[in-house]
Amino acid sequence: MMLPRCAVSVCHVLVLVLCLSAAEDFDWTKNNYGSFYYGTFPAGFSWGAGGSAYQTEGAWDQDGKGLSIWDVFSHRKGKIQQNETGDSSCEGYYKFKDDVSLMKELKLNHYRFSISWPRIIPTGIKSDHVNEKGIQYYDELIDTLMENKITPIVTLYHWDLPQVLQEKYGGWQNISMISHFNEFANLCFEKFGNRVKYWITFNNPWSVVVEGYETGEHAPGLRLKGAGAYRAAHHIIKAHAKVWHTYDTQWRGRQKGFIGISLSGDWGEPVDISNQKDIEAAERYVQFNLGWFATPIFHGDYPQVMKDFVGSKSVQQGLGTSRLPTFSPQEKSYIKGTCDFLGIGHFTTRYITHKNNPSGRSGSSYFADRDLAELVDPRWPDPGSEWLYSVPWGFRRLLNFVKTQYGNPMIYVTENGVSEKMLCTELCDEWRIQYFQDYINEMLKAIRDGVNVKGYTAWSLLDKFEWDEGYSERFGLYYVDFRSKNKPRYPKASVQFYKRIISSNGFPNQREVENWRRKSVETCSSSNQLLAAEEQRSTAANILRLIHDPLTSHMEMVTEIVVPTVCTLCILLSAIFLMFLLRRRN
Q: Which residues are catalytic?
A: 415
Going by C-alpha positions, the residue among 237, 202, 239, 263 that lies closest to residue 402 is 263
State how far the Cα of 455 lies from the Cα of 397, in Å rounded to an integer. Answer: 17
Strands 110-114 and 46-50: parallel
Residues found in the chain:
586
- Looking at 107-227, list the stretches that DSSP marks H as alpha helix, in order from N- to C-terminal side: 117-120, 132-147, 163-169, 177-192, 205-213
- Looking at 324-454, list the stretches that DSSP marks H as alpha helix, in order from N- to C-terminal side: 329-335, 366-369, 393-406, 430-448
Contact (Cβ atoms closer than 8 angstroms) between residue 153 and residue 112: yes
Q: End-to-end CA distance of the chain, in Å?
A: 48
Alpha-carbon Rg for the chain in angstroms: 25
State how far the Cα of 492 lies from the Cα of 286, in Å rounded to an integer. Answer: 33
Contact (Cβ atoms closer than 8 angstroms) between residue 527 and residue 490: yes
In which element (H, E) is residue 412 found?
A: strand 411-416
Sign, CA dihedral 173-176-182-188, equals: negative
Going by C-alpha positions, the residue among 460, 483, 373, 342 that lies closest to residue 50 is 460
Bridge-partner residues for 256, per DSSP? Answer: none
CB contact set of 32 (below 8 Å; sequence gap of 6+) = 15
What are the C-alpha distances in Å from 335 to residues 160, 236, 248?
Answer: 24, 11, 13
Cis peptide bond prior to 564, omega within 30° of 0: no
State how far the Cα of 108 lies from the Cα of 113, in Å rounded to an integer. Answer: 13
In which element (H, E) is residue 250 found?
A: helix 228-250
Q: How many CB atoms lie within 10 A of CB 492?
A: 27
CB contact set of 132 (below 8 Å; sequence gap of 6+) = 64
63 phi-psi bin (left φ>0, alpha ψ -120 to 50, beta other): left
State how far the Cα of 495 lies from the Cα of 516, in Å rounded to an integer. Answer: 11
- Looking at 31-91, list the stretches that DSSP marks H as alpha helix, in order from N- to C-terminal side: 53-56, 69-74
Angle between helices 292-299 and 228-250 (to 10 degrees): 40
φ, ψ (nearest 5 deg) of residue 262: -110, 115
